[in-house]
Structure formats: C-alpha cells, structure tokens
Structure 1
Amino acid sequence: MRTERNPVAVGAVSLTVIVLLLLAAFNSDDLPIIGGGTTYSAEFTEAAGLIPSNEVRVAGVKVGKVTEVELDGDKVKVSFRVKDAWVGDRTTAVIRIKTLLGQKFLALDPQGSQPLDPGEPIPRERTLSPYDVQEAFNGLASTVGQIDTGQLADSFRVLSETFQGSAQSVRGALDGLSALSKTISSRDEQLAELLANTNTITKTLADRNEQFEKLLADGNLLLGELRKRRDAISALLNGTRQLSKELSGLVADNSAQLRPALEQLERVTTMLQRNQDSLDRSLSLMGPFFRVFANTLGNGRWFDTYICGLLPPSVNLGVVGFNEEGCLPPGVQRQPSTGQAPAASNPSGGGN
C-alpha cells in the first residue's frame, strides 16, 4: 500500500539542505577537506595598510590569503592561511605593494629545514614592513658604498664613445649620461659623507627612541595638567561671576535698608571728625599750661611760684610806708628813677 509523504517535512528538509549547501559554497575555504589550508601568523612592527583578504604569495604565486590583522601589545599580529605550499621554520615575511592604488600582499620566503609550527608566529626579526626608513637608508648606504664610481664613469665614457656615430638624440642622451657619471664620480666623497651622516642620524634617532617616547608622554601629561588648570580657572571665574551677581542682587534687594544705615554712618563719621578736631585743639591749648606746670613742679619736693595778689598794694605816706617794693616778681628790681617795675620776662621765679 503506497503512503503519501508529508509535504511540510519534505519542504523543511529541502530548505535545510539548500541553506547548508549555500553556507558550504560561501565558506569553502574554511572547510577541512576541500578548502582551508594551514593557518600561520607573523609579527610586524606596523600593519602598513595590510587588511584581511589580501593575498599571500610565495615567489610571486598566490598560495593563500590574510585572515586577520590585529594589535598584539606593541606589535601587529597578522594571521594568514597557506595552501599547497611548504613553510619552513626559518621563513621570512614581507609586506609588499601590489598596485599603485596602495593594495598590499604578504610575501613569504620559505627557509629552514623543518616545517614551521602553526602555533609559533614568525618573529619580528624575520619580518619587514614597507617604508622602513632606517632599513632603507642603511641599505642605501651599504649599496652605494660598494659602487666603484671610477669604473662606472669609465663604463659610461666607453658607452658614449661607442655610440658616437649614432643619431643625434642618442648621442645627446649618452653625453648626458657621461656628464652624470662624471658628476657622480666628482662628488663621490661628498655622497659617501652624506650617506654616512644620514646613517648616523638614523642610528641616533633609533637610539633615542625611548627618550622621544618619554618626551611625548611627558608632553601629554603637561597638556593634561594645563587642561586641569584651565578648568579650575574657568570654574573660579564662573564662581566669581556668580558671586558678583548674588552681591548685586543683595544690594538691589536691600537698598532701602542700606541707604539709611549709610546715611547714619556718614553722620557718625562727621561727628567723630569734629570731635577729633576738638581734641586736637584741646591738646594744642594745653601744651603751654603743662609746660609752665612742669617748670613749676620740676625742682623736687617743692615748687617755685610767687603770690602777689594776696599782699596789699604799695603804700607810701612819706613818714610811714607799707610794702614799698610793691608786688614784683622774684628777681626783678624796681628802677630808682621812675619807681615802677618793669614787666617780668618770666612769670616763674623766686623760691618758697
């Protein structure tokens, strides 16, 4: 007896199979049998624009692709997959330029006697990034230093003489090459010195790398501290501005109460000033009194003075007389001609 199949189950199984086939097609390189390969890693000083999906080449032949580029501490770790290629334990890796638009690829140079362990990355000693200025100048200095400039000039000269019978344009080009060779030969010492100095500069910069890093770090700290001081000063100015607004509001709100108080304070200060003037005048007037008083009581246990107003006036009846001398200050004698006493120059005198 023939039974009918459940269309729902058949549809579900068919869709599952189709999805699995699509996933296998898009990820065929990651499959263990039909694709993939062996995954290795390398350490570089910089990524130099290398991105995942860039090619991996051995002797110019594509053998895999870059799978991941990530930062690992102070270095860049590049993971790549290689298929159908032998990679030795002394293999070197170089990031090279593929196109003029800046696309890169990873070039491997398989070396060594044993296969490379996939768990061990290629160290930075065996990797090189493009545009390494120090390595470029070092290589240029060593390469130029090995050139025999004299032989180079002779070669250009022989080449020029050989093509003397050629066309005018060719002879002109060769003459130019000959002049260039003479110029290079005459400047050999200067070029050698320039390259040597360039090598010294690059080596000095490399040796001072830690100082440069520390200088940049200290500069960053200084900028951070200046930023904090700027924020503190800004907060201080904002607080001062807010305080001035509050004080202005306080004065405006209490102007009715503050005006009478200030007026009373002005009256008090005026009165105090007037009293101060009176005290100054009193002290000025008391000065002569205290000076005379000090002269009177300045002789110890007694004081010098004279009493004139308590005695009767001078009486002279011819036969009988009383107080003929009159009231004269001590030390002043009456003049015999006029019988009048002169004015005393010093009111104090005499002793009792």
Structure 2
Amino acid sequence: MFKIFWDFFQNQVLGMKWLNKVIGGGLSAAGLNLESKTGASIQFFLYDTIKITVLLCVLIYLISYIQSYFPPERSKRILGRFHGVGANIIAALLGTVTPFCSCSSIPLFIGFTSAGLPLGVTFSFLISSPMVDLGSLVLLMNIFGTKIAVIYVLVGLVIAVAGGIIIEKLHMEKYVEQYIKTAGSVDIEAPDLTKRDRLKYAWEQVAATFKKVFPYILVGVGIGAFIHNWIPQSWIETALGSSNPFSVILATLVGIPMYADIFGTIPVAEALFAKGAQLGAILSFMMAITTLSLPSLIMLRKAVKPKLLSLFIGICTGGIILVGYLFNLLHLYLV
C-alpha cells in the first residue's frame, strides 16, 4: 500500500506525469506531430519548464520559511556551540537550509569566517550549501528516485565534512585575506518574526530567487530538449557511458567552468540519463557546476589567497570524481 502511494507521489506529484500528457494532448490538438524531433522538443521544453518552475516556487517557499528561523546571527551562535568534527557536521547540515547557489553562500561564508568561527567549519558550510540543499533532494527524487537522491545528499555531506576537516588540519588560516580577519563581527539580535512576517519573507524569497534562477532554467531546459531529441544516443554513450573509463573526469571538468544552480542542471541531467549516460558522470557534472562554478571561485578569491583557493578546488574536484566513480559502480544496483 505504501509503495503504491509513494509511486503515485513520485510520478504524479513530483514528476507531474499528468502534466506531460496534458501538454502532449494540447500540442497534438494544435496539429503538432509529437513523433517529430521538433514536436518532441517543444513538448519536453514546455513540460520541464512548467514542472521545474512549479517545484522551484513551492520548494523555495517552504525552505525560505525554514530559513527564517536560521538568520546568520543565529546560525553563527549554533555553530559556535560545537567543536571538532561535530562542528563540521552541524555546519554541513546548516548548509542544506541556506542559499541555493555557491555565489549566494560566499557572503555568509565570509561573515562566519570574520566572526571567528574555525576555518574548516566555515568551509564545510560553503561546500554543503550549494551542493546538497533540500531542493536538490526533492528534484533528484523526481528524476532518479528516492534511493539515489538520498545517497547523493549523504555523500555530498561527507564531502563537505571531510573537506572542512582537511582544511582545518592543514592550518590554512594564514591564507585568508587580511581584511576578512580584521573585519570583526557585530552581533545584532535578529528580531522575533511573527508567522505573518515569515510567510511574507518566504514570498519575497520566491520572487527574488525566481527572477535570478528562471533564465538558467530556460537555458537548462533548452539544452536538455536539444540533447533529448537531437543528439544521437551513441554520442552520449561514447562520451559519458560505461565504455569511457574517464567519463566522470570529463563530466567534472566540463561542469567546473559553467554557472548554474541545481534547478538549471536538472533538465540537462534528465536528458543525459535518458540518453544512456552513466549515473556517476551525471551527478559529477551536477556537483561540479553547483559547487565550483567560475563566478563563485572568482568571488571566493576575494576572500582567500590562491593557495587556499587551490586547496578548496582540489578537495572538491577530488571528492566529486570519487563520488562519480562510486555511483558508476553502484549504477546497476541503484537504477
């Protein structure tokens, strides 16, 4: 009984399969041949754009409401109560309920670092925040299923915790820019928000994030539609399939210079998966884009010196590649 309910929830609520049928029926009634590449591309584009937009708005609303209970001042106090590996774990978990992309996470990282929190702890937060937010869990469930989504989040948290611990053990504090160290922190008590204030804040976050993210959704869905209907499956299998032992490395290196968030990468991942790309290569591609985008690295360079930045890139890249090969090994058992 539970399995029937869960399959319905995953396919019809999260996956909105009914919406795909409605769009297909409408396009057919308008005289469009859905068997053609053009017709199939238009159906894919409309379906994925509407589906992801709806999920985006609902998720941002819910997560922003949760975020209203964790302003920077409160998050700093929470992190300050823990020490050692426990602090890294809490920082990584806090990252799951904070901004959706790495560029948004960096100002919080700078604030936490200048407040005197251990550098390794703040880096655990910085790695976790764009890679494993709650939105990614729900969207990955939509495409790959619950098992893969949960494992993805867990290994992302492991990368965040391990990366922070490594940076802490290497004592890299001297490679933080001086102005960050001397900035200090002003403790401002966040006002007590009423339920109405929190609901208003959540709506404002939906509007602001949607405006910022929607162009990337359109680009991602457009690329996904092109891959899904115009790129031969043999090409994808050659580059990212099981026949290429370097598919994970290739996917990671291709993803690093790009900039998008989890919502923009989902339709591309969906199309690659349908075309026969290996699971590990797809997830490495997504992790590289969300965690190591070029704009975020440029912003981070303003806060840390090249040696620490290089270490951060190396840890994240190595972790992403290892995770990719792990998922490739488990592909047959998970899919």
Q: TM tier, shorter chain?
A: under 0.3
Choose between structure 1 and 2 for higher RCO, CA contacts under 8 A separated by at least 6 residues.
2
Identify the structure with the greater strand proportion. Answer: 1
Identify the structure with the greater helix proportion. Answer: 2
TM-score normalised to structure 1 length: 0.20
TM-score normalised to structure 2 length: 0.21
